[in-house]
Amino acid sequence: MKRVLLTGWIMFISLAVSAQDFVTRFLDKREPDAHLICVSVSPKMMQEVLKIDVVEENNDLLDMISNLKSMQMLTSEVEGAKYFKEALGILDKNSERFKIFGSYDGNSENYRIMVRKRKNEIVELVMLVNDNNKFVVINFTGNMNDKFISRVVDSMKIKRS
């Protein structure tokens, strides 16, 4: 009986934890859509990435990646503005969870970087991109520091708000 209860409890916790990331929230709020493609990098795959020689030779990169738990990328080649607006709506509804870290709005492109903190530790990073009506969300979970986030921001040349 204890084993059954323990198994049930573990399954419940894993479902609750997995439903907390942004991409999962975004996909749960909408009907299935053939235009959206989701790629997930699991914790096991993150461990495999750490074994790559290039990563092992770069201590900064090794430290940053070793603290990540997972990454999800959600993309669409069409209707980017629509998906971007929907994603912003979800972020607005969860404004107590996600805080803006950086943003940029141009003629044909929009970027947002949002972070979720737990006890002053960054545990989730959400990057939203609408570029020429193409939509991208990159969602990192794990323990991240300002250096990691700054590298991400610099790579996208986003202005901090």
Mean pLDDT of all residues in 31-39: 87
Total domains in the fold of the chain = 1
Is 15 inside a domain boundary? no
Phi, psi of 11 (to 5 degrees): -65, -40
Cβ-count burial of 136 within 10 angstroms (0-12 exposed, 13-18 middle, 19+ buried)? middle
- Residue 154: in which H helix or E strand, if any? helix 146-156
Given a cut of 90, is residue 67 above it in pLDDT?
Answer: no
Domain of residue 96, residue span: 21-156
Is 16 inside a domain boundary? no
Residue-wise pLDDT tens digits, 78-106: 999 999 999 999 999 988 999 998 888 87
pLDDT on residue 52: 66
Residue 41 contacts residue 70 (beta carbons within 8 Å)? yes
Is 28 inside a domain boundary? yes
DSSP state of 160: P
Reported confidence tier of residue 154, pLDDT bands at 50, 70, 90:
confident
Q: What is the CATH number of the domain that holds 37?
A: 3.30.2030
Reported in sequence order, the residue ranges of 6-97 that DSSP labels E, i.e. its strands, are 37-41, 68-76
Is 146 inside a domain boundary? yes
Is 12 inside a domain boundary? no
Is 147 inside a domain boundary? yes
pLDDT on residue 61: 66
pTM of the entire predicted model: 0.74
